[in-house]
Structure formats: C-alpha cells, structure tokens
Amino acid sequence: MPDLRDFIAEFKGETYRVKKPVSPRFEAAAVIRRLEKRFIVYLEKVKGFSMPVVAGVCATRRRLFEALKIRGGTWEFYSRLTEALTNPSKCKVAGEGLVKEVSEKPDLSRLPVLTFYGRDGGPYLTASIIAARSLNGEVENVSIHRLMVLDRRRLAVRLVPRHLYRLWREAREKGKPLDVAISVGVHPAVLLAASSPAPFGTSEYDVANRLMGGKLKLVECEAVEAYAPAEAEIVLEGRILPDVEVDEGPFTDATGTYDLVRRQPVIEVLRVTHRRNPVYQTILPAGLEHRLLMGIGYEAKIWSSVRGVVPEVGGVNLTFGGCGWLHAVVSIGKQREGDGKNAVMAAFAGHPSLKHVVVVDLDIDVYNLEEVEWALATRFQGDRDLVVLREARGSSLDPSVSPRTGLTTKLGFDATRPLNLPEESFRKAEIPEAEKACRKILG
C-alpha cells in the first residue's frame, strides 16, 4: 500500500536533506519556511531527538496531483476529488500493519514536536489526523487538528465546532470519553481527504481509499476503539476526556496571525505504536502546505458550483496571499453578458467562507497574480463590475470580521471583458515567435 515513505522516495530530487542539527524551537520552522516553496524538507537531526522530521510534503499542487497519479492537471484533480467525496469506498481492515512494529507506553517527550512562532503557546503537532467513531459505531470521522503538548501523556486539542466536535459532544452527554487514533506520517491522499469538505457521516478514510484506488488499509488500535492507516509512521491511541478543559494557544492560524487562547478539551494518550525508525511529519502553520491543504478541497467545491451556472470553467485558485481560504480567482469562458456576476455568486455559494473573488476570462492564468491584476486594470470598472454583499456571514479566521456579529462584507470583481466592446481592444499583444527568438539569441 502506498505510504509516506514511498511518496517521499519518489521525490528524491526535490527533497532537501538538512544534515546539521536543528533546534525544534523556531530554527526548524525557519528552515522549513525558507525551503518549502521548492523542496520537501527532511531534517535528519533535531536537537534532543532521535527521530527525523519531514515537512512540506504537500506544499505544491504538482505533488498533490502526483499523489493521486493525476496526469491531466487541475481539472482532473477537481473531478477526482469530487467523485471520491460522492462515492467513498470502504477501507479494508488488516490484521497487521507496519505501524504495529513497535508498541510502547506513551511518552510524548520522545516526539520531535516543533515550536513554530514567537508567541505560540508551546510545541504543537500539526500534521496529526484524528480518527474517531460515534459511540454506536455508525459514524466515523477523520480530520486534522492542531495538538498542543501538555506533558508526557496529554495533549490539548483544538476542536472547531465541526464533525469531531460533534462526536465528542455526543460522547460527553453520556459522560463518556471519545476514543481517538491520532496518526502522524501518512500518505498525502490521506491528508488531503482529512482536510476535504466531506459531509458528516462520510468517513474521510473511505474518501482517501477511493482516491488511492482501494489501496488504503486500516488497523484496529490496541488500547482504544479506533482505526489508523496500517502504514502510518506513528499512531497515538488516546481518548478525548469528557470533563477536562485547559487553555489552548495562542497559536498561529492559517491567516498567519495569532489565534486566541481558548478553553479546549484534553486528550489522554494511552498507547503509542510506530514503525521501526519512524519519521515524524509536520506542517508549518500558515505556510504553503497548510494553506494548500486547507483550500484545495474548497477549490473543487467552487469549481463544481461555478460549473453549474456558466458553461466553461478554467481554473480556480484560493490564493496564498488570501490564506488559501479568503480570496479566490476563477476563470470562465464567458458567453453572455452577466456570466461573470453569476460566477461570482456561485463561487460564494461553493465556499461560504470566501470573502473576495475575482472572475477572469480564460486567457488569464489564475495562478499568475500579475495577470489577474492586469485583468482588473484593463477589463474592470468599479461601478459596473463590482458585486457588494453587505452583512454576510464571514469566516471566523478573518480578524477583521466583527467577533460580536460574525458579519462581513463580500466583494466580487467581475474582471471579464465586456462583450459589447470590440474584442481586439482587450487582447494581449503578442510578440510573434518570441520563445523561438529568445532561444536563438540568448541560448
């Protein structure tokens, strides 16, 4: 079955192996931030630990496409993800798995958990996927949550009021803890599925399994009732306690700003299993990988939604500067006047946290923000092409949203060219045979 190690091995040429010892406090984060745009970052020696650290595995679109063996590019990626979300396929449960090679008493001080930013409340696990089942066993959920290390056996877990929160609350109402399997070091398809917009009731393991062509195998935990990928690097078996809350935070959110300190539940770790010589995986908060993983599933939703109202959609980009969450650029094949504005509304419907969206024609590359700005400069008129939605529900991540009301103003920029004016006045000027000339003259 494909796992994290196989995946990293495929990208030897773009893995940067740092051989010098690196401190887990800030130094590692600084190195990851410097390198993750171009490389998978492999820290061989983290001071005080025997385990290597890997980061940035899913920091580029191309690597995510490779993880799903996609050859056709973005369009194929969105349709594969959409298809997997609607047709998840049940994972097989294996009796044995590499993650069971070593089984030991919990000691979180042996994991090279990094401290990232200056005001972060402590060391945090950030690439940890948490799997849990409802008490009746009918619903399984798998999602990524930041975990703050409290001591050798306990973690504070940030539970936004979504699916895992709902399972925990249901258990708490009966006075019971919620069993969880926390996996660290998994194949990118599992990370992608765990951060995708699957509805409550769909197991993200099954979404991952569909994405992996039926190759994801799970194993049952030893100390708790939960399942983990059979070839994860490390699994922390634990339970979210019903009745303990601690201060969690501050911590750097996808926005790159500090999230506040909140009272959050505690996970007690009961057992740790891992592969021999495990690799610890992490994700730099607010980095490329974090924003890409958070956003790309919602790009697929925007893509589906916009395709419902205009005949042709080129690309969707939840931009890095927009935190992979708040700003989108969508390109469409405009056929009638008004298509751009309909696309704006569909984009907002596809991703309710979206704040600003720019709609452009197909000749604009949605990943090239200079081109997007050029389209705004040459095709957009504020009085005619701007859509303003006052007092809509905003993203809780956006620090400019009033925490009292949760309301925001959304803007849609229709930067498609008007169809009642001559096409040639909006066309990009081209230098004939430019590439060829440059090759000939500059080599």
Kindly list the catalytic residues.
253
From 141, 195, 331, 353, residue interacting with Mn ion (rule: CB under 5 A) = 141
Q: What's the first-to-final CA gap in the chain, in angstroms?
A: 45
Residue type, 402: S
Number of amino acids touching Mn ion (CB under 5 A):
3
**CB-nearer residue toward Mn ion: 163 or 239:** 163
User: Residue 227: helix, strand or coil by DSSP?
Assistant: strand
Nearest to 142 by CA among 75, 203, 225: 203
**CB-nearer residue toward Mn ion: 24 or 350:** 350
* Per CB under 5 A, 355 contacts Mn ion: no
**CB-nearer residue toward Mn ion: 98 or 131:** 131
Beta bridge partners of 181: 131, 237
CB of 140 to Mn ion, least distance (A): 9
CB of 163 to Mn ion, least distance (A): 4
CB of 367 to Mn ion, least distance (A): 28
The full DSSP string for 16-61 is EEE-S-B-TBTHHHHHHHHHTTT-EEEES-BTT-SS-EEE-TT-SH
CB under 5 A: which stretch of 25-33, 73-81, 156-164, 177-185 binds Mn ion? 156-164
CB of 82 to Mn ion, least distance (A): 16
Within 8 A by CB and 6+ apart from 280, the residues are 51, 52, 53, 54, 111, 112, 113, 184, 185, 233, 234
CA distance 272 to 275: 10
* Per CB under 5 A, 163 contacts Mn ion: yes
* Per CB under 5 A, 133 contacts Mn ion: no
CB of 259 to Mn ion, least distance (A): 21
User: Residue 66: helix, strand or coil by DSSP?
Assistant: helix
Within 8 A by CB and 6+ apart from 390, the residues are 409
Of residues 406-425, those binding Mn ion (CB under 5 A) = none
Of residues 43-72, those binding Mn ion (CB under 5 A) = none
Dig out the tokens for 388 from the structure.
């303003």
CB under 5 A: which stretch of 62-70, 195-203, 355-363, 373-381 binds Mn ion? 195-203
| Mask for 196-215, x = binds Mn ion (CB under 5 A) | --x-----------------
CB under 5 A: which stretch of 61-69, 85-93, 134-142, 329-337 binds Mn ion? 134-142
Residue ranges in contact with Mn ion by CB under 5 A? 141, 163, 198
